[in-house]
């Protein structure tokens, strides 16, 4: 387990505790933006991990938004 994995888990846990759905989206987009210069500098391992983390955060945003919409529809 590398340092970026530990940072990912810490950020994920913080976002779960804060419970702000949009922050998942912003964090995912930030990960993708940070990966671009790393790909340009040929730092592929970290850049690839950042793209995976970014897509995971965006997926968490989509899932939480879908759950929130479906619970509002039931009320």
Please name the residue that has the structure tokens 């210069």: 37
Task: Please choose, from the candidates 38, 65, 41, 66, the residue with its C-alpha nearest in 3D space to the C-alpha of residue 51.
Answer: 38
Are 27 and 57 within 8 A, CB to CB? yes
pLDDT at position 75: 62
Does position 2 have pLDDT exceeding 90, yes or no? no
Does position 66 have pLDDT exceeding 80, yes or no? yes
Q: What is the pLDDT of residues 6-42, one digit of tens each?
A: 989 999 999 999 988 899 999 999 999 999 998 898 8
Is the whole model's pTM more than 0.75, yes or no?
yes
């Amino acid at each position: 387990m590398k340092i970026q994995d530990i940072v990912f888990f810490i950020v994920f846990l913080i976002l779960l505790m804060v419970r702000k759905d949009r922050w998942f989206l912003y964090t995912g987009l930030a990960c993708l933006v940070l990966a671009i210069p790393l790909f340009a500098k040929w730092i592929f391992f970290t850049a690839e991990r950042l793209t995976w983390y970014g897509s995971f955060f965006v997926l968490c945003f989509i899932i939480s938004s879908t759950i929130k919409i479906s619970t509002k529809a039931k009320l």
